[in-house]
Amino acid sequence: MIRFLFRPADVRRALASVVLSVCALGVGAVELSDEQAGLTDYATTPEACHQALGSSRSQHYGDSYQIPSTVSLLSWNIYKAQRDHLMRDLQALSTEADILLLQEALLDKRLEDLKPYWRFAPGYSTDDLQTGVMTLSAWPASVHCRFEHTEPWLRTPKATSVVEYILDSGQRLLAVNMHSINFELGVTEYRRQLQDVVSIVAEHNGPAVLAGDLNSWSDDRRELLQRLLAPLGLTPAVFAEDNRTQAFGLALDHVWTRGVSISAAEVPIYQSSDHNPLLVSMQFDEVNDRVAQD
């Protein structure tokens, strides 16, 4: 049995989700309070996610939901905050980014307080620790979907979070935060995890970002990323000074985008995690038609 250890505030969020999670099934849009912003209003299957996104797009959202045409993004596997100075470094980096996509994140108030709004997708857990992927931002998301896949060997969960934001132009930004399957002979489960996301991005009419620790440590995995993501119009961010963490000589972390122009992309070196953070500044294109999957 997987145990989730919540503080009293977490329990209140979980209770609130019983009422508010129906919104993800298409009842309507609800603007969540800061306290409710992380554990409510989500769909857990691609089918439910499609339904939630479709319902959301027929709703009206207030000005507090609208994000500007230029934003900065941080993607970082924070290694369960095990190393010294992680929180210090993360807090400093968070001042430079509008959207944070964290992998191996914790349900921890220090993380939750980095931005006004956050969403959490649970992954690996122990009796006293719950980790997963956390997406934080200065603006509330209109939809949250979270998927779980199981490591073939270790039988531990790997999490994916999908959120949709409202742009001030009226477009919708789809932001995918993924911690990919790692230990596997072949790419069968790795492909299945990606295909859940591909099915969502393929139906999205607007800009999209897919980022995270994609564990792309083999040629087969890198080729699969290219084969699945390129037909969606997604292209990988290029880092002039590429300090991304590697395994077998291949970078593990990625930011793939569609419908945006990247003005800056860097990978500063930090010792507070076993991965280096990815920082990307981008501007949303004015016109972005959906690219159908081949």
Residue spans of beta strands (DSSP E) within 99-244: 99-106, 117-126, 129-137, 143-150, 157-167, 172-179, 208-213, 235-236
Give the model confidence (pLDDT) of 112-163 as tens digits: 999 999 999 998 888 788 899 999 999 999 999 999 999 887 788 999 999 9
Question: How far is the C-alpha of 265 from the C-alpha of 251, rounded, in Å?
Answer: 15
pLDDT score of 24 more than 80: no
**CA 225 remoteness from chain centre:** 17
Mean pLDDT value across residues 269-276: 98
Residues 6 or more apart whose CB falls under 8 angstroms from that of 142 comprise: 29, 56, 59, 61, 65, 164, 165, 166, 172
Residues 179 and 210: beta-carbon distance below 8 Å: no
* Domain ranges, ordered by start, for the chain: 8-284
Cβ within 8 Å of residue 227, ≥6 positions away? none
Q: With 60 as the cut, is the pLDDT of residue 80 above it?
A: yes
Higher-pLDDT residue of 158 and 23 is 158
Rounded to the nearest integer, the mean pLDDT of the chain is: 86
CA-to-CA distance for 153 and 18, rounded, in angstroms? 33
Alpha-carbon span 266 to 87, nearest angstrom: 20
Is the separation of the CB atoms in 290 and 252 below 8 Å? no
How is domain 8-284 classified at the CATH fold level?
A: Deoxyribonuclease I; Chain A (3.60.10)
Q: What is the pLDDT of residue 65?
A: 95
Q: What is the pLDDT of residues 189-211, one digit of tens each?
A: 999 999 999 999 999 999 999 99
